[in-house]
Amino acid sequence: MDVSIIIRTFNDEKIRNCLDAIFNQKTGYSFEVIIVDSGSTDKTLDIARKYDVKVINITNFTYGGSLNKGCGAAKGKYYVFLSQDAIPLNEHWLDNLVEPLKDNKIAGVFGKEIPLDDCNFCEKRRIIGTFNKPPKGMFTNSNSAIKKELWKKNRYDEKISISEDWLWAEKIRKKGYNIVYSKSAIVKHSHNLNFSNLFKRIRNETYEVARIQNIRPISLIAKGIANFIISIYLDLLYVKYNFLKLPYILIYEFVVLCAFFSAGFRLIF
């Protein structure tokens, strides 16, 4: 077995879109698909079992723990991680994601993400900007691949609340390996979060990444303020200065700013 594709699931019946795209891949790699489910109560698993997949059920979810469970059951030489709501864009996604791992110095690869059609415009602009020029240290298990041999020696942290991917990449870089970005391994992936969930996600991700990269609280808060000002301009530019959308932009970016402040104060206290 060449590749094990590991997908974490919980109550997402749209997983059929993800699985259809996987099983339509034109690839020379043999692969298996492993579903790690955290207690879905809808038809997610009924849909998944219509495909040639292995299902693992877990009760205590953490991002790192679920990946370790999947990897522990995997037979492939390479491990590919894909979000349940991420849809590979074309038939060569898998090849484009895995090929760089043939280089001995490359430990991990993450692919490009583009927003889904129903994504709100602020999030669309943010995703496009992020993946046009990924920030330093970035690694995302929404669409990534690593080597089995390295996972065995460097398992994912099971205690961290989020950003287990950034932490793994930081540790592996310190050991002399490289993490690379594949612009041609593209998936459609985005979230339409309400403001409450947006705040929680940005706060938690920002806090964990700041801890991983040893960013000082004052620097994080300053970055949040700068990001707030720049993002309003970029959002307006993205919607071609449609000022009718300005109220939503201000609320959205203020929520993000508050998340940065909250993460910064959490680092202090």
176-205 pLDDT, tens digit per residue, is 999 999 999 999 999 999 999 999 999 999
Q: What is the pLDDT of residues 136-181, one digit of tens each?
A: 999 999 999 999 999 999 999 999 999 999 999 999 999 999 999 9
Asked if residue 171 and residue 211 are part of one domain, the reply reads: no
Give the Å distances, CA to CA, from 17 to 31, 86, 107, 108, 230: 18, 8, 28, 25, 35
Asked if residue 96 and residue 7 are part of one domain, the reply reads: yes
Averaged pLDDT score across all residues of the chain: 98
Asked if residue 259 and residue 170 are part of one domain, the reply reads: no
How many distinct structural domains can be found in the chain? 2
| Residue range(s) defining the domain that contains residue 17 | 3-188
How much is the pLDDT for 154? 98
Give the rounded percent of residues in the chain with a pLDDT score beyond 70.
Answer: 100
Asked if residue 136 and residue 28 are part of one domain, the reply reads: yes
Q: What is the pLDDT of residues 50-85, one digit of tens each?
A: 999 999 999 999 999 999 999 999 999 999 999 999
How much is the pLDDT for 122? 98
Cα–Cα dist 38/25, whole Å? 27
pLDDT at 241 over 90: yes
Asked if residue 117 and residue 236 are part of one domain, the reply reads: no
Give the CATH number of the domain where residue 69 resides: 3.90.550.10
Asked if residue 142 and residue 79 are part of one domain, the reply reads: yes
Token pair for residue 230?
């720049």
Asked if residue 248 and residue 132 are part of one domain, the reply reads: no
Helices (H), the chain: 15-23, 44-48, 63-72, 93-98, 121-132, 148-153, 164-174, 195-212, 217-238, 246-268
Give the mean model confidence (pLDDT) for residues 223-242: 98
Q: What is the dihedral of CA 236, 239, 245, 249, to 10 degrees?
A: -50
Asked if residue 119 and residue 93 are part of one domain, the reply reads: yes
Q: Which of 143, 172, 188 is the last residue of a domain?
A: 188
Asked if residue 121 and residue 138 are part of one domain, the reply reads: yes
How much is the pLDDT for 269? 86
Q: Which of 160, 188, 216 is the last residue of a domain?
A: 188
How much is the pLDDT for 200? 98
Contact 106, 92 (CB under 8 A): no
Q: Which of 156, 188, 220 is the last residue of a domain?
A: 188
Asked if residue 96 and residue 155 are part of one domain, the reply reads: yes
Q: What three-state secondary structure class fits 112? A: strand
Q: Is the dihedral of CA 81, 168, 185, 204 positive or negative?
A: positive
Asked if residue 100 and residue 161 are part of one domain, the reply reads: yes
DSSP state for residue 219 in the 8-state scheme: H
Confidence bin at 232 (pLDDT 50/70/90): very high
Q: What is the pLDDT of residues 99-146, one digit of tens each?
A: 999 999 999 999 999 999 999 999 999 999 999 999 999 999 999 999
Asked if residue 77 and residue 24 are part of one domain, the reply reads: yes
